[in-house]
Amino acid sequence: MDTVKLNTGSDMPIVGLGTFKLRGQELVVQTVETALKLGYRSIDTAAVYRNEKDIAIALKQFCPKYDIERNNLFITSKLAPKDQGYEEAKAAVLKSLESLGLEYLDLYLVHWPGKQGMLREDERNRQYRKDTWRALEELHQDGRLRAIGVSNYTVRHMKELLEHCQVKPAVLQIEHHPELQQTELISLCREQGIHFQAYSSLGTGKLVSHPAVLETATKYNRTPGQILLRWAVQRGVGVIPKSTNPQHLKDNIHIFDFTLETEDMGRLDSLDSGMHYCWDPQHVA
């Protein structure tokens, strides 16, 4: 598995297991076991996914079985929008640690730039973000959060954070695929030494049937999903594809034994249209 070095000095696998909408103890445990057996060592969850406790059961059961030490795992969770704020964020981190049965998290992200229950345009969102980040910085300094970062932040949100933070975010996780390439955000992250990680790499499944993707998949004798994931990692972008299908889980991690030619990368690059398939945080104050 290829890794990326974060600005904290730690290594993060460039492919992780996404767990959005992965619910139900039996399915979560089964999926995590399959992933660990296939070689996944990074698992991405969040408080709002409501599966942290089930992931903990799987880790406790299968890490010993597959001889996986804690320091070989990379576990990410995220702050629920309702928990924005200094005290709320601190309590939320401790709750996630307890739910996951862990002493520390490898990465913890602010899931959304706004606070739940407030209007997007409410200027108080700025102060909540600032207070939240201060809490995460303290938990990072005491070792419970090995790295901290953000999700769904725009260029404006990122610049605001970089103006006041004592600890730079290690990761920005946001929607990214050939139709939504976020080039300005990627440039900003690279200038600042922040790893850019994608979610919804397949455009919530819509892009696997795109003619350009299908034709490229045929050329390389790969699945459309593998082409989309390879396109991202070849650009240095991390990915966290989600699947409960064992064959798809296997396909999603086997993207390091081929390289897309320059013309094929260019063809996929040309699809950029600013198309959001998920949430657009642009209007959060």
CB 31 within 8 A of CB 40: no
Q: Where are the beta strands (DSSP E) in 142-270?
A: 148-151, 171-175, 195-199, 238-239
| Distance (Å, whole) CA 238 – CA 220 | 21
- Catalytic site residue from 49, 128, 153, 199: 49
Nearest-CA neighbor of 157 among 84, 94, 74?
84
CA atoms within 13 A on the CB side of 174: 27
Q: Output the DSSP codes for 31-78.
A: HHHHHHHHT--EEE--GGGT-HHHHHHHHHHHHHHTT--GGG-EEEEE
Q: Treating both helix axes as pointing N-terminal to C-terminal, what angle do 211-220 and 224-234 enclose, rounded to 10 degrees?
A: 90
Residue 49 annotated in active site: yes
Q: Catalytic residue numbers?
A: 49
